[in-house]
A and B are shown apart, each in its own frame.
Chain A
Amino acid sequence: MIRILLEALIACHNCDLLHQRRFLQHGEWASCTRCGACLYQHKQDSLNRTLSLTLSSFILIIGANVFPFMTFKLQGRVQEALLLTGVQELYLQEMGVLAILVLAVGVLFPLLKIFGILYVLLPLKLGRRSWKAIPVFRFVETLHPWAMMEVYLLGVIVAYVKLVDFATIVLGSSLYAFVGLILTMAAADAFMDSESIWDELEVS
């Protein structure tokens, strides 16, 4: 009984004010009456869209990491770089901390996020709950601000601008995969409805 009452309420996570949950139409969102924070949203067809976009991200993140994204040509010398070459180079320059940070926020966390979402949502789609789905999804939610591929892309652009004047820079195919990856991941984030995933994880 108490539980039903509690499920009908939500507290604003920015100011703690209690609100009564209301049914929302597709695409609507409820905001806090006191501080304006978004309380919850209702997203249409969230599970299918998130899943298909995350599957595309999975393919793109492999493509983005396997092929060189930039080739540097100067005085007959050619240097190709993968997204991970910088990590290796920083490590060789005894900048291990930076190497780990770039590896984590640029490649590893996005990859873990994609794996985590697929691991939780694919079985949910079939009406099942994967082993340890709740801790895995908690991990995915915690990773969220630390997966910084879009920031990485801006770093690529700035590096390109710095080099383009004194060397020949050829953009590689993986850069296009990388841009695609950022778009599909951003769209997957926009379509993902954490609230309803938690609900489904609870009942399944």
Chain B
Amino acid sequence: MSSLALTAARASLLSCHMCHRLNTSSPPLSADSTVCCSRCGMELHSRKPNSLARAWALTLAAMILYVPANILPIMTVISWGEGEPDTILSGVIALIEADMLPIAALVFFASITVPVLKLLSIIYLLLSVQTHSTWRLKDRTTLYRLTEGIGRWSMIDIFMISILAALVKLEAIATIEAGPGAVCFAAVVVLTMFAAESFDPRLIWDVTEQASHD
């Protein structure tokens, strides 16, 4: 890897996050002044502000909520006065028992694999940046792009609950109610999406700049 890579930051240029226009960073930046993009007016930053702190805060909040999201019922099927609560995992097991293996695999992937992998991958990216790791920079950037793109698919369960609640409302015979687990799970999905959005992948590469200064 060339240590003389010419980045926008090194050339004192600011790349617009929204429209990708390059802007000069003059007049010099003071702590409280902001520079806006000459083309789209978006506020410009060389790196996303407080990227690591924000991504950590959102990730930790998501990790904490991940526990009740899996323990509490995401929905309850009430039939003849008796409620049968369903968690994320019991929903997958019910699909397996009904021999709906492809759908079970889909729900398992979207509701269990994706959130866990996403949390682990953001934590790994954050730690690797903070320890100035120079290991597999390109692969870590690819990991970031995957993490950013895949998070929305975890919303399947939330939509499913909304549809079941809309259809199954036969008072005494059968009613489906959303449970508190669903709120926690939705929060996990939204928080991890914001966490991925807050993380700045350019920080992965900034370590090559620091190495060349030594």
B residues contacting A by CB (< 8 A) are 5-9, 11, 13, 15, 17-24, 38-42, 94-95, 98, 100, 103, 106-107, 110, 137-138, 141-142, 144-145, 148, 152-153, 155-170, 173-174, 177-178, 182-183, 186, 190, 193, 197, 201-202, 204-206
Contacts and interface: CB of A to CB of B under 8 A. Distances in A.
B41 A74 contact: no
A165 B7 CA distance: 59
Interface stretch (A45-53, A54-62, A153-161, A182-190): A153-161
B8 A35 contact: no
A70 interface: yes
Given A93-B177, A162-B160, A202-B39, A14 B141 contact: yes
A130 interface: no
Contact of A13 (B20, B39, B158, B170): B20
Interface residues of A, number: 66
A154 B103 CA distance: 9
A14 B169 CA distance: 48
Contacts, number: 204
The residue in B137, B166, B178 that gathers the most chain A C-beta atoms within 10 A of its C-beta is B166
The DSSP consensus for interface residues of chain B is helix
Given A86-B162, A101-B186, A138-B41, A14 B21 contact: no
A119 interface: no
A90 B20 contact: no
